[in-house]
Structures are given as structure tokens and as C-alpha cells.
Chains A and B, each alone.
Chain A
């Protein structure tokens, strides 16, 4: 059963088309990654699905409830973590969670108990009675996520949950999200980080300029790029010809040389690296470094849109 279903979502701001017919579907208990650069329409999609914004066209149901007609009931079934850590800095961590719990309709005692559980689980017990204004970025994000989980919502929306976090905090947040999913929660996660989508999402939709431009599992999207990539740093660039010749039998596309690195597209197969090294050695080519790269989602983005995700993000920021 689909926990999140959207068909033809449209949203316009004056002349700007933020969403141009977005279709989404996430099965219950799965993680849907929505991947795209800044300004692609990810946040607008989340706002519509969490009842914050009315779509100009199309329809969506979350947990079987229509996001427009059943908005009031739906709010009790979802948790939202936005791009900013939306917690009150002038309250303590515990006060924040109790406030949100009570606004979800829990009684005082139940809200307090739930706050305690969540603070414990998110390793914030020691900081429970400190003002959130004194928390580090990672602690705020954890509290923000805890706030979204107060009512044990069956569907969780995470809008760029790790933007601006240090690597350690990111990994710890990923583990928390994975634990929620293991407990049966459906998650929609937006991100501009390709590794984040790969790690967490069962299925990924790629959005650019308000449209879904690709959809599939991480592996399916990678297949679109085709093949793995050998990267060889030669000791002597005079040997480029010899190296290309030695690897000709492995290559599935013409080799390229860029910034002193020879790139050879190869079919995905076991033992490619060893074979390549043997052939180069037999041809007497001196190799400084040799590595095999699986395509990343950045490669996918480049293939799909003709520009890299980072470039698109930079464009979007210039437009803004």
C-alpha cells in the first residue's frame, strides 16, 4: 500500500513555476529519496504534502488522507523536520518536546514521559534542561527530529535533514532515520547529497526545475550511466598511447585523458582491476595510481540533465 501518493502536483508563484506536474509514490515502510539541486522544487513538494501549502493543480494523499480536504486530520499522522532546526531556542530541550507533545494532543504527564524517552534515545538527556540556544548544530537537528517523532507519526517528512551538519553528526542522524524505518515508519527525504539518497532511500526520484526527470532505485539510476570507470594516473604521460592500447580489450568506450588522468569506461565485472593492472604491467607501463569507480548519483545527474548537481545548485542560488 502506498503511504504517500501524489499525481500531477503543480505550484506556481506568479510567473515562476515551482512544480510542473510532480508524481510521487512511496510504499508503506519505505524511504523515498527526493533528490535535486536547490530550487528544484523539493521543499515546495514537502510543503504541499505536509498541508503547509495548497497545490495549484494535481492531488496527493498521505496515509490515505487527502492533503487538502483532510488536512486537519492528516496533521496528526505526520512528522515534519524542515531545513532549519525548527525548535524554540528560548526553551529547554525538554520544554520544547513537552510543548510539541501537548500540541499533538498528549496530556501533560504523557507528554513529559514521551519527552524523556526521546531525549534519552537522541542522547540529549544530559542537555534536557539546558536552553536550546546553547545547543550545537547537531544537537538541534537531533532535537528537531525528536520533535517530529513525538506523536509516533506513521509518515515522516525530512526536508534536507543533514544540510550543514558535520560528517559525524550526519552519520549519527542517518542511523537514527534507519532505526525509524526499521520500526515501520514511511519516510520521504529530500536531499541534495547524492550519497545520502543512496544510503537511505529505497527509491529515488530526481527533480529538476519542478519536474521528475528520473525515478528508480539507486542501482537502476546508475545503470543509466552505464559501466564502471577505471582511472589511471601514469608515471610518464608519454606512455598514454601504450596504456590505451593495453586496455583496449577491456574498454567499452573510447578512453579519455583529462588533468593527467586516463579514464577508461569498462563493463561492470569482477576482477577488472587485477586484469587491468596485469595488462599494464605486461606492456611495461609505469602506474602511479589505479582505481575503479562505480558511477555516483552525480554522474547520473550529469547524464540526465547535462549539468552536474553542484552546478545546478550554484545556478539556482544565482537566480535567487
Chain B
């Protein structure tokens, strides 16, 4: 029997699985497919808007949790969020993360908007716009997902709290690529792993830089050895270089995924990809097994503890039928916060969307609750995007909730298992 079965391999599932495995528990990480890391920018955004721009998450979080008692952060706790960030930062050497819960970076996105992020890969940090600066955005002609002129123009017009001066311009280079039908960011990242390719790109950029400009490129600076690529380019150009995450496949997201999976497997964890949890066996307030659809058969996975990290509506973990029935697909947990007819959605895309807050209600140790606040299963914890009460895309809180809830679920499991 396994000690822990974690379902889902986005950030929350990976973090919960890794912490439990490293604490000496035997963990199986089960996933229907590869998780949301590949679609996310690879930054840890804890709290960006409340609803005004948040400059210091550690100051803002307690207030935010008080005002939003149904929010995941109210259950997780600001202190746990801070501890989870420290734990996360310490996991990386070589390709490192930088930042702290006491401040938000303001990083440019691919369309030149500004996004508050708390922990960011070191390779992104020099794009921080809080103190302004002179920036050169470099496009790679073959990459159709990044337009440096768009980025530069919007960044130059961006308003930061300090009002510091930002100047930005754009150039385009043509890296030496032959015979590629369609170049994705990932294909380019693999090319950057080759030192010869990096040299050729550095030579082209160095002819275009001016004064003390920092150089921004799409986040494609290497997949297997990003730190060497980034440092090599900074050295060759004699100035700060930063990456800008863009459309999927997200290279910083893939790096994050590969690093965490490798750490989990080398600690002895077991990964099963392609198999979907489709149901569960329970006895009273305990889950005894999760039923998993693998090739040819539904297999029961028996474990002592279970972590639900399957995601929300986006991943299909929570589904809504055409008759507005909402269902969580593994344990049939009650989905809370589903708004009444007429209040489900706002007509404007970027407004508050009440349906987005629907999810599983949890207690302070992340066990799922029913409508009357009663704990449903004592050996099941719920993490990540399936928790009710947040509007991650507005708050810029998704990865922060995932990381801190994954971290805290592991604490619960470890305490209960030991």
C-alpha cells in the first residue's frame, strides 16, 4: 500500500507529492495528463491585486484574508504562504528563483502589460519595471508568438506606482535556423541549449544595443541549461538580460515541471501519467481507494492519504452540464459557491465572474467540507484550483494558492501519517 496518492501534477500536486515523499512517505503521483505548469508563465504570483495593485504581499495578505473569509488564503494562512515560498525558493539551485513575500516584481508580459509576481525565475528578474529603466525588446523573426514592437510600445506607456521613467524600443533579429516549418518557443529553447546558437544570437544583438539598455527576449533561453544560457548572454552583451514569458508552450513552465518531477522521482516517488482518477471507494469519513482508468481496466489505487489536485473547470476536474449541474468528478464532493441563475457570469470578460469562485470548500487543514461545514473525509485534502473562493486571474493569485495549499496539504498529511 502507498502512503499517499496525489491526483494531478500541476504546481499544487507536484508540491504536495514532493514534500510528502521527502518526508519519508511513499507517494504515487497520478495524472490524467501533464498539468498546468506548461501553460503558466513559471512565476509564483501570490497576490497582485486587492483590487488595487499590491506592492507587498506579506502586508496585504492578512487584510485580504480578513475581508475574504471564504478565500483559500483565509484557510491557508499568511504565515504558511510565506513558509511555502521559502521552501520553494530553496528547492532550486542552478536555475534559481528570486524574490520574497515582502515585495512584488512588476514584470512585462509579452503584450507589454505589467504583471505583479512574487517569486520569479532569476532569468526574468531584470525585467522588473518598478524603478523604470531603458529596455530593448528583441524579437526572433521565426517566433510568431512574440512581437517586440507591441511589447515595447505598451511597456513605454505603462504606469508604475513610483512613476519612474521607462523607455523601451524594439528590434528584430534572425537567428540561424534552417528548414524549420513552424518554430515554437520550445523549439527555440532547445536550440539555445547549443552554445554555438547562443553565440550567433549574442553577436546579432550586440550590434543593436545602445547605452545602458537592458535586453528583453521571449522566454526561450534554453531548456536543459537555462542558467548557463542566460549568464552567457549577459556576459556576451555586458548588460542585464531578461526573459518574457509568452504563449504556451511556456518554457519557464516546462523547466519548473521538469525540475520538480525529477526531484520527486529521484526521492523515490512514483509517477503515473495518462491515467485518470474516475471514482473513489469510501468507508464512513475515510477514502479507502481511488479508482483509476488505465489501459484495459479500472484499477483501485489503495493509499492511506489522498490529495485532490485535479484543478477546476479548466482541467475538467469540476464539470458543468448544459443544465447547469456542477460536479466534482472523483469524489463527487459538493461544489460550493455556484451562483444562482442570472448571476453566473458578468457580460464583460474581465469583470468579476461569480462562477469562477465555485469550488470545493475546505477547513483549515484543507479537508473538504459539506454545505453545513462538516468535514467529509478525514484522509483527503484538497489543493490548488479546485478550492472554492478565489478569482485567481483577477487577483493574480493562482500559483500562490497552488504552492501554499500544496505545501500545507503536505503538512496535514505528514502530521496525520507520522
Q: Do A and B bind each other?
A: no
Q: Which residues from chain B sit less than 8 Å from chain A, CB to CB?
A: none
Q: Which residues from chain A sit less than 8 Å from chain B, CB to CB?
A: none
